[in-house]
Structure 1
Amino acid sequence: MSAEAVPPQRQPWPGPDLRRQRLANHTVEDVLSLPDDAPRVELRDGVMIVVPSPTIGHQEISSLLWHWFRRHAPLEFRPSVATGVLIDAVQTFEPDVLLLHRETINVESHYSTPDQVALVVEVVSPSTRRRDRLEKPVGYAAAGIRHFWRVEQDPVHIYAYELVDGGYQLVADSADELVLAKPFELRLPIRDVTP
Structure 2
Amino acid sequence: MRQRLANHTIEDVLALPDDAPRVELRDGVLVVVPSPTIGHQNIGNLLWMWLRQHAPVDLTPATAVGVAINYRNSLEPDVVLLKRPVAADHHYFEAEQVMLAVEVVSPGTRRRDRLEKPADYADAGIPHYWRIEQNPVHVYAYDLVDGRYELAADSAEELIVAKPFDIRLRVRDITP
TM-score by length of 2: 0.98
SS in structure 2 at match of 1:179: strand
Equivalent-residue separation in structure 2 for 1:181 and 1:37 (angstroms)? 39
- Does residue 150 (structure 1) correspond to residue 131 (structure 2)? The answer is yes
- Match of residue 53 from structure 1: 35
Equivalent-residue separation in structure 2 for 1:95 and 1:58 (angstroms)? 12
- The 5 Å alignment of 1:42-191 reads 42-103=24-85, 105-191=86-172
SS in structure 1 at match of 2:46: helix
Note the C-alpha offset of 1:176: 0.3
Listed one character per residue, the Cα deviations across residues 107-161 of structure 1 (whole Å, up to 9, x for unaligned) are 2110111110110000000011111110000000000000000000000000000
Amino acid across the alignment from 1:43: L
* Alignment coverage as a number of residue pairs: 176
Amino acid across the alignment from 2:101: V
Equivalent-residue separation in structure 2 for 1:44 and 1:62 (angstroms)? 23
Amino acid across the alignment from 1:42: E
Equivalent-residue separation in structure 1 for 2:70 and 2:145 (angstroms)? 21
- Match of residue 13 from structure 2: 31
Larger Rg: 1
Equivalent-residue separation in structure 2 for 1:27 and 1:76 (angstroms)? 31
Equivalent-residue separation in structure 2 for 1:23 and 1:191 (angstroms)? 44
Amino acid across the alignment from 2:137: V
- Match of residue 11 from structure 1: none
Moved runs in structure 1, 4+ residues, more than 3 A?
none
Q: Percent identity?
A: 65
SS in structure 2 at match of 1:140: helix
Quote the RMSD (CA, aligned, Å): 1.2
Structure 2 unaligned residues grouped into runs of 5+: none
Structure 1 unaligned residues grouped into runs of 5+: 1-14
Note the C-alpha offset of 1:29: 0.7
Listed one character per residue, the Cα deviations across residues 12-63 of structure 1 (whole Å, up to 9, x for unaligned) are xxx9xx8xx3120011011000011110000000000000000000000000
Note the C-alpha offset of 1:102: 1.4
